[in-house]
Amino acid sequence: MRLSDAERVSRAIQTLSGRASLDVIVDRLYDLTEGTLELDRATLHRIARGKTQVARAIDSPEECIRLYFALMIVGCEQDVATATIVEEGRAMLAGFIGEPLAALIFRDLEATLPKLADRLTLKEYLEEGLRLWLPK
């Protein structure tokens, strides 16, 4: 998988991480994705710092989407503003898999988010979204 805009992805990850250290966030991402993320810690760090455009371990859109949901959940946990979570999540996913493939998810997200005013509800929704994308 080649990131289309490594710098933007890096900025999105850092924004969604709030004030937590990148290492703590990486741990949390592995937790949330139940160990299904193929990316190793070093590559994830490099992506988060905008130091690489290549994430060879990620070879399917499903994995990108899991990372996307997990990062959005991290954004909720770090008390990032809801609008920012959505905007940065979108930038992150678009950077990974490109707009055409992400359009389906964004369309649903844009229709759903206005109905979820409460942060807890948003987080539950994101957790369910992530669960559905976890491999069986």
Partner 1 sequence: MAPEMIVPQARAESGTLRSEEARLRAYLADRLHIRTRFAPFSDVRAILVSAPDDAADKGLIVSTETTVAERIYLYVHVAAHVALGHHRPLDTIVEGVPGVVRLERDAHAHGEAERLARAMWWGTNEDLAAPRRVRGSAILRGLLARAPTRSAVRGILLALRAAYYDLRIERALSRTRIAAWLRDALCVTAVVSVAPQLGDA
Distance of alpha carbon 48 from alpha carbon 17, whole angstroms = 10
What's the min distance (Å) between Cβ of 91 and partner 1? 20
Binders of partner 1 in range 104-123 (CB under 8 A):
104-105, 107-108, 111-112, 114-118, 120-121
As measured in angstroms, the least distance from the Cβ of 111 to partner 1 is: 7
CB of 3 vs partner 1, minimal distance in Å? 23
Within 13 Å and on the Cβ side, how many CA atoms surround 99?
A: 1
Residue 82: both structure tokens together: 């809801």
Residue 131 tokens, joined: 């669960």
CB 133 to partner 1: min, Å: 7
Residues 126, 73 contacting (CB under 8 angstroms)? yes
60 binds partner 1 (CB under 8 A): no
> Which residue, 24 or 132, is less far from partner 1 as judged by CB?
132
CA distance 93 to 107: 13
Amino acid at 33: T
Q: For 50, which DSSP code?
A: T
Tell me the two tokens of residue 85: 């979570």
Segment contacting partner 1 (CB under 8 A): 22-30, 31-39, 82-90, 100-108? 100-108
Point out which residues bind partner 1 (CB under 8 A): 104-105, 107-108, 111-112, 114-118, 120-121, 124-125, 128-129, 131-133
